[in-house]
Structure 1
C-alpha cells in the first residue's frame, strides 16, 4: 500500500513538473513564471554571446558576459534534465525508455542538447578545447526554442511541411537547369578565358549567381555567344526563383486564412466513418447485398487500389478495401453527434487533465489522437497542444452543445 501511494505521489509530481515545463500551460503562477524565465534566459544568453564579439564591450563587461553564460547554460542543462524526466508524460503511449529515446532524438531534444552541451565539452576534453569552440556556434539553434512560444511562428514549419513536395520539385528544376547551363557556359567560354572557366565547377558558380539573381560579378562571359546565353539564363532565373517564392507565399496565405477561420479550435461534425477491411473480417469476400445492413445505414463509397467505387448490391468486398459508412439519426427529437476538435495554441483545455474538464454530462471524449497515434482517454491524461479530440454527444433537435 505504501509503495502504491509513493508511486502515485511520484506520478503526480512528475505531471506537475511536466505542466510547468510545457510551453503555454499558464494555469498556475509557477508555470507562467517558468515560461518567462525560459524566454529571459534565452534572450540573455544570445545577447551576451553577441555583445562579447565586440572587443571594447568584451574588455569592459567580459566578466558579466561570462557569468550570464554560466547561469543560462546551467538553466538549459536543468531544463533538459526535467524534460527527460517527464518524457513519459509527453509520450504516454511509449515505455519509459522509449519515451526518453524519442524525446532525445527528436528535433526539440537535439536543440535542447545543443543548447548546453558544447559549453561543457572543453571541460570534459581539455585537449580539444579549440575544436569544441566551433560546436558552440550551435547556440544559434536556441532561437528555434522561441518558435514554441509563439503560435504565429509555427506557421513557418507548417508551410514547409505542407508544401514540401512542391518545394522539392522546384529545387530539382533549379539544380537541373544550373548543371545544364554551367556545362554550356563552360563549353562556350573556356577557350576565351581558360583561367576563369577552368572547369565545370566554375560554370556552376556562375550559373548559381545568375539563376539565383545574386550577380556577384566575379565571373562572367566575354564572348558574344556567352553573353547571349547569359541573358537567356538570367531571364530563366527570374522565373525559376519565383516558383518556390510563390509556393511559400501561397502556403502562408492558406495557413493564416485557416487560422483566421477556425480560431482557437476546429469543430467538424462527422457524418460518415471509414472502415478498412482486413483478411480476418467477416465482411471480406461478401457482396454488399449479403451484409444485411440496417435500413438507416448505407455504404456511400468504397476505396480500392486508389480508386473510388460507387457500390452496388452485387459489389464484392475484398481485403484492403476502405468502406465509407453513413447513417441517419435514430430519432427525430434526438441527434447523436461525433465531433472532431483540435486543440490549437491558447485553447483552455491545453494542460488540463480529462477528469478536470468542465464539459456537459451528455458529452464524452471517446478518443484522442496525438500525432499519428490514437490514445484511449483516461481521467489522468493531460491534454496537449495539437491533440485531436473526438467527442460523442447527444442533443435534442434544434439544440447545439
Structure 2
C-alpha cells in the first residue's frame, strides 16, 4: 500500500512539474512561479553588476540568490525523482530512468543552475565563473516554451547546412579582406596594411554592422566595399531562410508525428500508410478537459473515438476500472450498423483523472472519412465481420 501511494505521488509530481497538462491549477502555479523566478534571477544578475546597486542592496541580492538556489535544487531533485514516470523513460527501471534523464540536456542545465549552491557550501561562492553558471538559468525557460524547443530542434536538424553557411562566410570574408588589402594598403597602411587588419573591416561589412572606424578611401577600395556589402546581405539571408524553413517544418513534423503515432496504434488504422493516416488526422477535433471531468457518461452510447494526447482518463468496464494515459485511445464507432469498440465488452463511463488533452473522431466525421476513403471502409468491414475479433 505504501509503495502504491508513493508511486501515486510520484505520478502526481510528474504531472505537476514536468508534464503540465491542460489547465491544472497546481501545475500552472508551479510553472508560472518557476518562470517568474528564472526571469527575476536573470534580472538580479544584471542589476547586481551595477556597483551602486550592488553596494546598496548587496544583502538583498545575496538572500534572493540563496533562496533561488534552494528552490532550483528542490526542483532538480523532484524532476529526478519523478523521471521514471516520463513517457520516454517509462520502460526503464527506476535507476536507469533517472540516469537517462540526468544525462539529458534540460537536466544538465538544471544541475548547472544549482552548482553555485555546492560552491557556496564549500566557501567558494565568490568565484567569478559562477556568474556564467547563474546566467545558464535563462535557458531553463526553454523547458516551458514549446517554441524554443522546436527552434533548438530545427537548429540541430540544419546544423550541417548552417555550418556550410559559416564556412562560406569565412571564405568570403577572407577573399574580401585580401582584395581590400591589395587595393588599400598603400593609402591606409595603418588600417589595411595586413590581411588580418583588413579582416576586421570585412566581417563588419559582411554582417552589415558598419562601425565606421575603418573604411576605404580609394575608388578601387570603394568598389570592393560595395560588392562586399551586397554579398553580406546574401550571406545573412541564407541562414535566416534555412532556420525559418526548418522551424516551420519542425513544428509541423512534431505535431504530425505525435498524432500519427497515436492513430497508427489503433487496429482500425494500423495498416494504413502515412498519406491515409494524414487524411484521418484532418477529421480529428481537439478537446481539453479538467481533472474530474466526465468524458463519457454511464449509460450514454459511445459515438466517438478519443485519443489521449496528454493527461489520464479512467475508464469503467463491467470487469473493473483501468487508467489510460498519453498515447492510448478508447471509444466506439459504428459502420453499416456494426459496432466497433476499442475495449471489450465495452466502456460504461470515462472520467479524466488529470487535466487532459483529447483528439476526438466522432461518428459523423467517421462516416465522412470512410466515404472519402473506400480502402479504409473495406478494411474496417473486414475487421468487423462476424467471427473476427474486433479491435
| Cα deviation code 1:195-254 (max 9, x no counterpart) | 434544333322211111111233334444333222211121122212223344455666
- Does residue 396 of the first structure (1) align with residue 335 of the second (2)? yes
1:112 & 1:205 partners in 2: Cα distance? Answer: 38
Residue 338 of structure 1 and its aligned partner are, at CA, apart by 10
Match 2:199 to one of 198, 204, 207: 204
- Does residue 241 of the first structure (1) align with residue 236 of the second (2)? yes
1:177 corresponds to = 172
CA RMSD in angstroms, aligned pairs only: 4.6
Task: Decide whether the 8 Å contact of 2:115 with 2:133 is kept in 1.
Answer: no
TM-score (norm 2): 0.63
- Does residue 229 of the first structure (1) align with residue 219 of the second (2)? no
- Does residue 89 of the first structure (1) align with residue 67 of the second (2)? no
The change in CA–CA distance for 1:47 and 1:326 in structure 2 (over 3 A counts) is closer
1:185 & 1:168 partners in 2: Cα distance? Answer: 26
The change in CA–CA distance for 1:104 and 1:340 in structure 2 (over 3 A counts) is farther
Which of the two has greater helix per residue? 2
| Cα deviation code 1:248-270 (max 9, x no counterpart) | 445566678x59xx89x957997
Residue 400 of structure 1 and its aligned partner are, at CA, apart by 3.6
2:309 & 2:250 partners in 1: Cα distance? Answer: 26
2:14 corresponds to = 18
| Cα deviation code 1:15-70 (max 9, x no counterpart) | 12212212523665433332233223223322332332333333333222222111
Match 1:80 to one of 50, 60, 76: 76
Count of residue pairs brought into register by the alignment: 312
Unaligned 5+ segments in structure 1 are 274-323, 328-335, 369-378
2:51 corresponds to = 55
The change in CA–CA distance for 1:133 and 1:394 in structure 2 (over 3 A counts) is same
Q: Which shifted more, 38-47 or 73-82? A: 38-47
2:64 corresponds to = 68
2:23 & 2:263 partners in 1: Cα distance? Answer: 31
- Report 1 or 2 for greater relative contact order, CA contacts < 8 Å, sequence distance ≥ 6: 2
Residues 112-261 of structure 1: pairs in structure 2 closer than 5 A: 112-124=110-122, 126=124, 130=126, 132-157=127-152, 159-161=154-156, 163-164=158-159, 166-190=161-185, 192-197=187-192, 199-250=194-245
1:102 corresponds to = 100
The change in CA–CA distance for 1:33 and 1:231 in structure 2 (over 3 A counts) is closer
The change in CA–CA distance for 1:80 and 1:350 in structure 2 (over 3 A counts) is farther
Residue 159 of structure 1 and its aligned partner are, at CA, apart by 4.6
SS in 2 for 1:395: strand
1:33 & 1:198 partners in 2: Cα distance? Answer: 61
Q: Which shifted more, 154-163 or 56-65? A: 154-163
TM-score (norm 1): 0.62
Unaligned 5+ segments in structure 2 are 311-321, 337-362, 367-391
1:299 corresponds to = none
The change in CA–CA distance for 1:92 and 1:267 in structure 2 (over 3 A counts) is closer
SS in 2 for 1:213: coil
Residue 79 of structure 1 and its aligned partner are, at CA, apart by 0.4
1:270 & 1:103 partners in 2: Cα distance? Answer: 27
Q: Which shifted more, 62-71 or 19-28? A: 19-28
Task: Decide whether the 8 Å contact of 1:21 with 1:34 is kept in 2.
Answer: yes
